[in-house]
């Protein structure tokens, strides 16, 4: 058995509440988009807490904040953190909790175990939610992995029409220097995050070790038929895209349902044209969001959905086109770190499920340059992306203890 | 065999093209809403043509234009006509053709057979399309049947925010006098109209006698579930209103399809909330348009749809509410007039199908005060409510010959 990691719950609560004050929205919400004044204030606070914890603070070219604890042996570093931006509005926990967890874990490890062998770093990523720039797409972690293209700063446009380059300049960052944010000295990255789903709550676990992040594909589909009078056109000669839509929407969801967890498929968006009560539509546009954490099964799920769409469109004599708007490969965690975190949880007496993440996370990006794994903390009612999201202080402390013990095993 | 009714096709074409000039839209379209300047000009033209035909012209309190040919025996009159307003844009034939057909039939009958025994009238109803005032709802024929309520003029609001009372005053009509438009001296009303569907074209008939107008009900349905993250919420615990919608939309349409002609059901309108790709919707609103010309089967169709909605919502644990926005009873034609018109078609050598109307018409209103029936003229590709709607001059002349012979049989 390892030594028990001691976490001061009052300190954790203080950090959460004080960080939530930057961009506070209604009682428990947060509205903190990247490069906004609230975001600047939050990163300043995070940097100050890092300094108070005895970490060396650095801000990189896109505004990620790093706090570093040097190791006696040097070499590649072990990193933990998450994003500091929020949904509009979001809650206090999504992202922010992981950034704080990294900071708290390093502070506690330093206090309890002194200097590590390998360097340890905590990080607050500048952007993950795409809540100000819909195509920002993991701006913070993409900068670190060198995946921001040269034209991106001037082509990533905010909901208000501004480019992300303009927004960066307004907070004193130079878009031309983005390549400098790239790192090649990270050995492992562990991200703590709220679950955002109900699996831990229903299974009765405070914490999970995440063994994979789901692959995600977003289809934008258009079915076209023939617009007709809803009374004067007999059923048997219609070419009704709404019927094709109903069959496809039911079919793709039933496929995921039959496959069982962790497969999911969602039809969240639909628009009919002309959208009149007494008119057989000419066209129906809709989305399909399909996810699976196993790379091979993910591809099979996509193929199954595509087969159904083609079959329905052909049988119903409808036009069919689709574009793929998001396509993230499934990202298995590093098996050795998953084992190490499960061992850490057992040693710390924290019951921990092993599960896949159905949501995307910065860890997917970080996997391009480092071994990654995640820790989930139970979400009340599985909610997130809302001011009502909540995780108990007890569960949060349990999650940070697992994280800290995991970092200790990797760095000491 | 009756005498052949002679119709001058060139005159018919001239009337159609000249009337279409009032509110002309692009090459073949018409944009002529009730009480607009184009509408005023069209009614003036119609009145002038009635005078030229030797009819006594009268405009009633809502702006319906009547042309009367007195009968030697007096008594209740035989009327034919349709509406002179259009969709936005519509074509040259929907409504306008029936108003002209009544006028042309009376002109030809007077020329060929002299004065009738019973009075004959042609009418151009002021409004049927609800294209300026969405709740005008057969304004012209409702005035004649006394079905416009005292509060209607100030509560029927146009798409531009104006009341129909204001619009009436602007063209010199006094809303307080609407009750004067009511008539109790109409024995029979026969309306000629384009089919607006493909049945005649597919069956190879130029003309149909309409034996019933469909009953119509419009449901506005709301299904509510639980909004969730599309990745983090397993399929087996979702309450997804989009799935309820897909099952109901497929089910109600399949019911009508299985029943076969003339049952129809259409889901033309759907709106999801929040309508995001990666979000299980909280709520889906949609319409159901269900129609059947047989009153008992119409009720059975509605009950079948309602049962399905309740069953799906209960099984899927979804909230379900609906309102009924339009509810017109099925309207059988007068059987004796249907027989008379079929006899007229045979005598005039015009092949005539007998069929139900899947669209609503002024005749439904007129049935409250008179025996009614309709004549349909074949529509190219079944199209209407578009500038592209088209019926051939040959078919139109055939339809007017059937109408004129029918009126002759009733009035001479």
C-alpha distances out from residue B375 to A232, B81, B344, B407, Å: 14, 11, 11, 12
Note down the domain range covering A387: 9-213+330-411
Residue with tokens 């049952």: B263
Whether residue A242 lies inside any domain: the answer is yes
CA distance A142 to B248: 43
Residues A149 and A17 in one domain: yes
User: A198–B233: do the CB atoms touch at under 8 Å?
Assistant: yes
Q: Is residue B2 assigned to a domain?
A: no
Tell me how far CA of residue B347 lies from CA of B104, B194, B342, B402, B404, in angstroms.
19, 22, 9, 9, 12
Q: What CATH number does residue B343 fall under?
A: 3.40.630.10
- Residues ≥6 apart with Cβ < 8 Å to B49: B15, B103
Give me the pLDDT at residue A1, please: 61
B151 lies in some domain: yes
For residues A57 and A205, state if they share a domain: yes
Picking from A297, A328, A359, the residue at the C-terminal end of a domain is A328
Final residue before a domain boundary, out of A328, A356, A387: A328
Q: Are residues B336 and B298 in the same domain?
A: no
Predicted-complex ipTM score: 0.89
Spatial distance between the Cα atoms of A74 and B3, rounded to a whole number of angstroms: 112
Are the beta carbons of A266 and B278 separated by less than 8 Å? yes
Nearest to A69 by CA among A112, A117, A7, A101: A117
Q: A149 with A283, same domain?
A: no
The residues of chain B scoring below 50 in pLDDT are none
Q: How far apart are CA B309 and CA B320, in angstroms?
A: 8
> Does the beta-carbon distance from B279 to A287 stay under 8 Å?
no
As a whole number of angstroms, the distance between CA A4 and CA A1 comes to 9
B230 close contact with A: CB closer than 8 A: yes
| Closest chain B residue to the Cα of A268, Cα to Cα | B277
Which residues in chain A come in under a pLDDT of 70? 1
Last residue of a domain, one of A276, A300, A328: A328
Distance from CA of A254 to the nearest CA of B (A): 9
Are residues B118 and B207 located together in one domain of the fold?
yes
Residue B107 forms part of a structural domain: yes
Report if residue B1 sits inside a domain.
Answer: no
- Residue of B242, B264, B287 with shortest CB distance to A267: B242
> Quick one: B340 and B226 in the same domain?
no
Contact B250 A253 (CB under 8 A): no
User: Which helix H or strand E contains B77, and what residues bound it?
Assistant: strand B77-83
Q: In terms of domains, do A106 and A129 share one?
A: yes
Per-residue pLDDT at B293: 96
Interface touch A268/B269, C-beta < 8 Å: no
Residue corresponding to tokens 């990247």: A34
Q: Where residue B316 sits, what CATH number does that domain have?
A: 3.30.70.360
What pLDDT sits at residue B2? Answer: 75
Kindly report the average pLDDT of chain B as a whole number. 96
Contact A128, A83 (CB under 8 A): yes
pLDDT tens-digit map of B254-284: 999 999 999 999 999 999 999 999 999 999 9
For chain A, what is the domain count?
2
Give chain A as a 3 state SS string.
Answer: CCCCCCCCHHHHHHHHHHHHCCCEECCCEECCCCCCHHHHHHHHHHHHHHHHCCCEEEECCCCCEEEEECCCCCCCEEEEEEECCCCCCECCCCCHHHHHHHHHHHHHHHHHHCCCCCCEEEEEECCCCCCCCCCCCCHHHHHHCCCCCCCHHHHCECCCCCEHHHHHHHCCCCHHHHHHHCCCCEEEEEEEEECCCCHHHHHCCCEEEEEEECEEEEEEEEEECCCEECCCCCHHHCCCHHHHHHHHHHHHHHHHHHHCCCCEEECCCEEEECCCCCEECCEEEEEEEEEECCHHHHHHHHHHHHHHHHHHHHHCCCEEEEEEEEEECCEECCHHHHHHHHHHHHHCCCCEEEEEECCCCHHHHHCCCCEEEEEEECCHHHCCCCCCCCCCHHHHHHHHHHHHHHHHHHHC
Pairwise CB contact (< 8 Å): B382 & A233: yes
Radius of gyration of chain A from Cα atoms? 23
Residue A239 touches chain B, beta carbons under 8 Å:
no
Whether B357 is covered by a domain: the verdict is yes
Using a CB–CB cutoff of 8 Å, tell me whether B234 touches chain A.
Answer: yes
CA–CA dist A284, B24 (Å, integer): 31
- Alpha-carbon distance of B33 to B37, in angstroms, equals 9
Confidence at residue B331, expressed as pLDDT on a 0 to 100 scale: 95
B410, B78 Cβ separation under 8 angstroms:
yes
pLDDT of residue B137: 87
Whether residue A179 is found in the same domain as residue A244: no
Closest CA to B69 of B81, B53, B82: B53
Residues A26, A124, single domain; the answer is yes
Residues A230 and A89 in one domain: no
Q: How far is CA A157 from CA A1, A61, A151, A152, A365, in A?
A: 52, 19, 12, 9, 21
Structure token pair of residue B106: 């009376």
Cβ–Cβ contact A396 with B under 8 A: no
Three-state DSSP state, B325? strand
To the nearest whole Å, the CA of A165 is away from the closest chain B CA by 27
Residue A4 lies in a domain: no
The nearest alpha carbon in chain B to A385 belongs to B229
Minimal-distance CA residue of chain B relative to A198: B233
Q: Give contacts of B242 with chain A, Cβ < 8 Å.
A: 249, 253, 267-268, 270
Does A392 lie at the interface with B, CB-CB under 8 angstroms?
A: no
Q: Note whether B380 and B314 are same-domain residues.
A: no
Rg (CA), chain B: 23
Closest Cβ opposite residue B196 in set A218, A232, A257? A232
State the nearest Cα–Cα gap between B261 and chain A, in angstroms: 6
Evaluate whether residue B257 is within a structural domain: yes
Kindly report the pTM of this predicted structure: 0.89
**Looking at residue B265, what DSSP letter applies?**
E
Q: Please tell me if residue B195 touches chain A, with a CB cutoff of 8 Å.
A: yes
Residue A369 has a pLDDT of 97
The DSSP letter of residue B176 is G
Interface of B with A in 251-280 (CB under 8 A): 253, 256-257, 260-272, 275-280
Instruction: Count Cβ atoms below 10 Å from residue B150 Cβ, excluding itself.
Output: 10
- Same structural domain, A191 and A276: no
């Amino acid at each position: 058995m390892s030594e028990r990691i001691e976490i001061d719950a009052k300190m954790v609560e203080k950090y959460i509440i004080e960080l939530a004050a930057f961009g506070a929205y209604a009682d428990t919400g947060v509205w903190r988009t990247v490069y906004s004044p609230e975001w600047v204030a939050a990163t300043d606070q995070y940097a100050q807490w890092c300094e108070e914890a005895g970490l060396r603070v650095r801000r990189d070219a896109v505004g990620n904040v790093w706090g570093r604890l040097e190791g006696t042996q040097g070499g590649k570093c072990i990193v933990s953190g998450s994003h500091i931006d929020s949904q509009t509005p979001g809650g206090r926990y999504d992202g922010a909790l992981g950034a704080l967890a990294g900071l708290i874990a390093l502070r506690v490890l330093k206090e309890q175990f002194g200097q590590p062998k390998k360097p340890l770093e905590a990080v607050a990523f500048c952007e993950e939610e795409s809540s100000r720039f819909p195509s920002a797409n993991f701006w913070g972690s993409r900068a670190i992995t060198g995946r921001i293209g040269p034209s991106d700063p001037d082509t990533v446009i905010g909901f208000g029409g501004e480019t992300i380059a303009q927004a960066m300049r307004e907070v004193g960052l130079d878009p031309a220097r983005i390549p400098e944010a790239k790192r090649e000295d990270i050995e492992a990255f562990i991200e703590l995050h709220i679950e955002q789903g109900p699996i831990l709550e229903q299974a009765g676990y405070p914490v999970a070790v995440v063994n994979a992040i789901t692959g995600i594909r977003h289809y934008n589909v258009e079915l076209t038929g023939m617009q007709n009078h809803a009374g004067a056109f007999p059923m048997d000669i219609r070419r009704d895209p709404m019927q094709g839509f109903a069959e496809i929407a039911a079919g793709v969801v039933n496929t995921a349902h039959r496959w069982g967890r962790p497969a999911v498929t969602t039809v969240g968006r639909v628009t009919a044209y002309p959208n009149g009560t007494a008119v057989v539509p000419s066209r129906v546009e809709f989305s399909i969001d399909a996810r699976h954490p196993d790379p091979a099964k993910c591809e099979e799920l996509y193929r199954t959905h595509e087969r159904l769409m083609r079959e329905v469109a052909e049988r119903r004599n409808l036009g069919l086109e689709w574009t793929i708007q998001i396509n993230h490969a499934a990202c298995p965690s590093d098996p050795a770190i998953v084992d190490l975190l499960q061992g850490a949880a057992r040693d710390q007496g924290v019951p921990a499920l092993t599960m896949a993440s159905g949501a995307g996370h910065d860890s997917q990006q970080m996997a391009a340059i480092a071994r990654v794994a995640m820790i989930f903390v139970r979400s009340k009612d599985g909610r997130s992306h809302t001011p009502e999201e909540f995780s108990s202080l007890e569960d949060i402390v349990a999650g940070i203890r697992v994280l800290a013990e995991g970092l200790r095993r990797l760095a000491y």
